[in-house]
Each structure stands twice: as structure tokens, then as C-alpha cells.
Amino acid sequence: MSAAPATPTVVLLHGWLCDATDMRPLAARLVPHLAVTVPDLPGHGARAALRSENPCTIADLADAVLRGLPGPGPLLVVGHSLGGAVALEIAARVPERMTGLVLLDTTWAVVPPAPEVIAAPLEGDGYFARRQALQHKRMDLHPAGTALPAADPGTAADIFRDLMTWPGPQRLRTAGCPVLAVFSGAHRAAAVTADQLPGVRARVLPDSGHWLMLERPDEVAALVLDLAADHRRPAVGAGA
């Protein structure tokens, strides 16, 4: 039996127009077991926008996250919404470091990008009511008491435009590591995942909204820990 692989660092990536505080409840449940890093994406929260003459892209966000990570060790990247897209771009850049991906309600990574796909989380699951109900949690997490952290307007607009042509399904097919896609409610993207992307594991958390890591942090943490445990199990081979 060979030695167990090195324990990965878990990278938690927030969504569009949000910041790292959204991931703190999940991080709190993971840090007793794993090394965790929770960055702000460029142009979000306390992190400055990238300086470039060109529009900011999802790939640019991935490069910026990678530059800020410590060391060359293995990674398990968890991304919510836009953060899931950034996670897939990270996997495309450093496939040799990836032990797994967890995509939280990253709809456009599964079905072809279109305005109705971007709008899907807003429909049919009480999105706005749930968001209002979560305001107290988000205000507790933000010292300034703001419910939705400000994002750089230029970055926000650039990223939204980039999502319209971003090849999410292609990134999923070529991820090269275990991928778990977790969806809120009875999301139609879960069925698409099962039918068209058999290499991707799909889970639905019933009676949940878009902010899975705030509404169901215990369940999401358990899924992340299970994926990390799969990586750490020693392989059995001849001559080991």
C-alpha cells in the first residue's frame, strides 16, 4: 500500500457582486480538518480591481487567485456561482495540482451560456424571499453591516459579458479531476449534468436557494470533506 497523498488546501471562491465573507460559515466548518484559504476575487470586497486596458475576464480572475495562493501543493477548489467558473479556469491552468472541484449552483458551467441561464436562479425557488431572509446572516458577517458588498462596476460588467461566451460545459468535460456539482432546489441543470456530463457528480439540496453555503453550510461542508477524504485514501497497487 502506498503512502496517502498530501492533504489539499481548500480554496473557497465567492460569487459575483459578493465577497469572501459569504464563505466564512463554510470555512469555519472546514478549518478543523483542512487548510482553507478564502480570498476576495479581484474587484470584489476589499480587493482592488485588476489594472488592465483590456476587459476583465473569468480567466483573469483565475490567474489572480493562483498568484495569491501559498506554495505549489494540491488544491481542492470550491466555487459558488461565478466562483465555480473561476474554479474551472484554475483547474485548466494547474491540472497537476487539482484533487477536486465543488461547484455550488454554478449553472452556466453546465448548460450553454444564455441570459435565461444567468436568470435561472432568480426563478421558481423564491430567490428574492430567500435573499431577504438571509440578510441578517450576511449583515452579521460584514462588520460594516452591509448586506451585499460593493463590487467594482467595471469588473462586474466585464465579467457578466464574459459569462455570455464562456465555454462552461467544455471546461467541465476537460477538468481532469473529480467534480461535484451541487444545485439548489430542483434545479434543471442537475438533470442536464446527469444526462450530458456523466463524469460529473450532481447533487441537489432540496428546499434550498442560491446561497447554498449560507443556507446549508453543514451539508455543503460534509460534501467537501467527503471529496477531500476520497483524495487522501491511499492507493493500492502491485509492489506497494
Q: For 116-136, write each residue's pLDDT tens digit.
A: 545 555 444 454 445 444 555
Residues of the chain where predicted confidence (pLDDT) is lower than 70: 1-5, 111-150, 186-196, 198, 232-240
Domain assignment present for residue 210? The answer is: yes
Are 10 and 36 in contact by the 8 Å Cβ rule? The answer is: yes
Residue 236 is predicted with a pLDDT of 45
**Cα–Cα dist 42/53, whole Å:** 15
Domain assignment present for residue 1? The answer is: no
Residue 240 is predicted with a pLDDT of 41
Residue 148 is predicted with a pLDDT of 52
R_g over Cα of the chain? 17
Which CATH number goes with the domain that contains 27? Answer: 3.40.50.1820
Cell numbers representing residue 221 in the block: 461542508
Domain assignment present for residue 27? The answer is: yes
The pTM score is 0.82
Which domain covers residue 102, as residue numbers? 9-232
Residue 187 is predicted with a pLDDT of 59
Are 105 and 184 in contact by the 8 Å Cβ rule? The answer is: yes
Domain assignment present for residue 224? The answer is: yes
**Cα–Cα dist 18/45, whole Å:** 7
Neighbour count for residue 37 (Cβ, 10 Å): 16
Q: How many domains does the chain have?
A: 1
**Cα–Cα dist 28/59, whole Å:** 28
Give Dmax (Cα) for the chain. Answer: 59
Query: What's the burial of 168, exposed, middle or buried (CB within 10 Å: 0-12/13-18/19+)?
Result: buried
Domain assignment present for residue 4? The answer is: no
Residue 112 is predicted with a pLDDT of 60
Domain assignment present for residue 68? The answer is: yes
For residue 151, the 8-state DSSP code is: B
- Alpha-carbon distances, residue 99 vs 8, 106, 178, 224 (angstroms): 7, 19, 7, 11
Domain assignment present for residue 154? The answer is: yes
Domain assignment present for residue 92? The answer is: yes
